Structure 1
Amino acid sequence: MSSATESSAVAAAHSFSKILDRYKSASKTRSSADVEEATKKLRRLILVDGIPSEVDPTLRPRIWKVLLHVRDMSAGAFLEYVGRGPCEVREKIRNDTFRTLATDRGFKERVSEEMLVRLLDAFVWRNHDRHENDQLGFTYVQGMNVLAAPFLYTMPSELEAFYCFAKFIEESCPLYVQPTLEGVHYGLKCATLSPMRLLRTFPPLEALPVIGIAVTLVRDLPTDLYDELVRHPYAVRE
């Protein structure tokens, strides 16, 4: 890393930390409008600068928890779920976990298969208890192992990974993990609308060009289509 690049990364890390510090006192001294404004700045900073994890490895876990609104994490509840042992779909989980990012040496060095199994077992037990009170039910479905992997890789503890993963699945994309795959089908329906055809002109997956094109395209999307795209992973339709 050149000195100029390093200086830029250090400055970005400082900006991130300054914004994240606002959330520590949000409940006491800041209004919800202040918190929302901080979140907007945080999202823009992620788009413009990326997260300088090489300067401060704590940034990404902190940012994920803020964006997922993960605050209360009960260690007792998590340990109770883990203590129950194998869930009813343990065999299905095991059929997937052993091959999760199998060729990624860095991932394998940090995240064991047992960690994945524990998290996914606990998730099933958590929703076994909550099922009667929720409009949507959750259990393990194929692919959740891959969704859980980044949380275990990034978060400092299995406890934090568990609650971030649960929040992501249950609130950010619940319709994508239902047996009917409602979110997937609705997403495909959205993708057939003409503005989405522009997305096929994306360059190879290089972050900065993709971000630039995405930001430009979003401004041109009709409001109703943008709303559908944002809401389709979680908005339950009558």
Structure 2
Amino acid sequence: MASKPPSQFSPSNVTVPPSPRTARTLRKFQSHQTLYSSYSSISGQQQQPSNDSSPSRTSGLDSPFDARAQSPTATRPRRRTRSNSDASVTASSAVHQTPKRPARKTGSGIGLKRSSLENLLRDGPPNGDVSGGLKELRYLVLSSRVDADSDGMSPYRIYLWLALLDIPPLPTDEYLSLVHRGRSPAYTKIRNDTFRTLATDPLFKRRVTEASLIRLLNAVAWKLHDAKTGTTSSRPGSRRRELELAIDTPPVIAEEPSGEIPEVSFGPPVNFSQTAVYVQGMNVLCAPFLYAARSEVEAFALFHYFITKECPGYIRGAMDGVHKGLKLVDRCLELVEPKLAKYLFSKGMYAELYAFPSVLTLCACTPPLPEVLHLWDFLFAYGPHLNILCIVAQLIRMRDTILKSPSPNKVLRSFLPLNAKEIIALTVLLVRDIPDDLYQEMVDHAK
């Protein structure tokens, strides 16, 4: 740091020769804040009396600049100046010493070009063709991955999931009303699970707090509890918003291949009498929603819709949907990889012994989390039932290791790290080998 100015320093001798260190060296080793504070204290102690009593002159904030403004050599209008140690440096040399600022990047810069997937989400389907737009959206998910950083974060992934699952906007007040109700009947069970949710994943721990996970699961538990008991906690404002959405965007009823027209309703057609308020494993299934969402309300809307519409069988008391999925894993593996299946069955290794977490959580239990998000892009585009074949694909990737191991149970304690691209490619190939009746069982197993 430059030596302390002499005690005779006053506003009249600001033109003293510069110190041996130049302004460039000072700027290199001292921040503007350090210089500012040091000269503010000096000028505050040795400031000469002034007849000007205006607030701008008497404030301590302007004191380092007042000395220069009162100097006879100050002929320029008052502006932000250099430090006093740099007073004698000429303007031309100061220009050469000041580094140029890099040009600011704008939204239209090179490298910020939006992908076709993002453009479709932003602009909507061409000519208002919702059905055609959804088909194109699914194809783009399959052909080109969602743009994301190394942490798996994407600015538009959550909107992609909302569009693919056809989830309307949820009023924030509806979520807050559930949160403000306090502890649900499943609160103790939730607290016993949340602290160990993806406990070894630093990305998840850095972005999602346990408090956020507790709030969301507790709100969902209240929602399921109300559905079971036949009560409702929705406010009139939320019901009005639901009606407005129904008027503005009427649902399109498409004829199914069987000729039957499905019932259209805004509530999931689920019998909640046997639905559990909370089952172990829901915390892990909820985790990717919270990680990818931009707010808890979005995560709540997605998670609640998913467990009540897409896989209500997973949250029933007996979890019969999960057990059906495990049997389907064995049947599909026996069909596409008979040698591997025969070897596992001979060792007593059925899917219920090693694949229960993968079925229940849609492979969210297998790291890394960014690859889980890419896999979920595919599952939400073409159906969560394909998770059964994604598990079979993971077993095929481990095929050689399993066949060489005398104890495959040790190998299957933990699957290989997820590689969404390879698993999706293999799953697409496996679909062609699945008979129609077995495929339909896959579609219906979680209902």
Q: Structure 2 length normalisation: TM-score?
A: 0.45
2:147 aligned with 1:46:
no
2:256 aligned with 1:155:
no
Cα RMSD of the aligned pairs, angstroms, is 2.4
2:433 aligned with 1:220:
yes
Q: Structure 1 pair 53/220, CA: closer, same or farther in 2 (3 Å)? A: same
Counterpart CA distance in 2 for 1:39 and 1:195 is 32
Of residues 302, 309, 312, the one that matches 1:164 is: 302
Counterpart CA distance in 2 for 1:119 and 1:196 is 39
Match of residue 396 from structure 2: 201
Classify the secondary structure of the residue corresponding to 1:69.
Answer: coil
The one-letter amino acid paired with 1:35 is V
Residues 115-173 of structure 1: per-residue CA shift (max 9 Å, x gap): 01100110011122222455123411111111111111111101111111101111111
2:36 aligned with 1:36:
no
Match of residue 3 from structure 1: none
CA contact (8 A) 2:336 2:433 kept: no
- Across the two proteins, how many residue pairs are aligned to each other? 219
Classify the secondary structure of the residue corresponding to 1:127.
Answer: helix
CA contact (8 A) 1:191 1:197 kept: no
Counterpart CA distance in 1 for 2:197 and 2:160 is 24
2:82 aligned with 1:82:
no
Match of residue 21 from structure 1: 122
CA contact (8 A) 2:293 2:299 kept: yes
Counterpart CA distance in 2 for 1:189 and 1:104 is 30
Q: Structure 1 pair 197/65, CA: closer, same or farther in 2 (3 Å)? A: same
Q: 1:89 Cα shift? A: 1.4
Residues 6-43 of structure 1: per-residue CA shift (max 9 Å, x gap): xxx977x52112322354x79xx73xxx3233222222
Counterpart CA distance in 1 for 2:190 and 2:202 is 21
2:315 aligned with 1:177:
yes
Match of residue 140 from structure 1: 278
Q: Higher helix share goes to which structure?
A: 1
Counterpart CA distance in 2 for 1:151 and 1:212 is 24
Q: Structure 1 pair 10/46, CA: closer, same or farther in 2 (3 Å)? A: farther
Residues 181-223 of structure 1: per-residue CA shift (max 9 Å, x gap): 1112222332343425473423554222222211111122111
Classify the secondary structure of the residue corresponding to 1:190.
Answer: helix
Match of residue 6 from structure 1: none
Classify the secondary structure of the residue corresponding to 1:96.
Answer: helix
Q: Percent identity?
A: 40
Structure 1: which 5+ runs fail to align?
1-8
**Which protein has greater RCO, CA pairs closer than 8 Å, 6+ apart?**
1
Q: Structure 1 pair 219/181, CA: closer, same or farther in 2 (3 Å)? A: same
The one-letter amino acid paired with 1:67 is L
The one-letter amino acid paired with 1:201 is I
CA contact (8 A) 1:22 1:38 kept: no
Q: Which moved more, 1:220-229 or 1:186-195?
A: 186-195
CA contact (8 A) 2:146 2:154 kept: no
Counterpart CA distance in 2 for 1:118 and 1:206 is 31
Q: Which moved more, 1:34-43 or 1:156-165?
A: 34-43
Counterpart CA distance in 2 for 1:207 and 1:148 is 19
Classify the secondary structure of the residue corresponding to 1:214.
Answer: helix
Match of residue 324 from structure 2: 186
Q: Which moved more, 1:125-134 or 1:108-117?
A: 125-134
Counterpart CA distance in 1 for 2:336 and 2:222 is 38
Higher Rg of the two aligned structures? 2
The one-letter amino acid paired with 2:300 is F
Q: Structure 1 length normalisation: TM-score?
A: 0.82
Match of residue 116 from structure 1: 213
Counterpart CA distance in 2 for 1:40 and 1:218 is 18
Residues 30-73 of structure 1: per-residue CA shift (max 9 Å, x gap): 3xxx3233222222222222111239822211111112221130
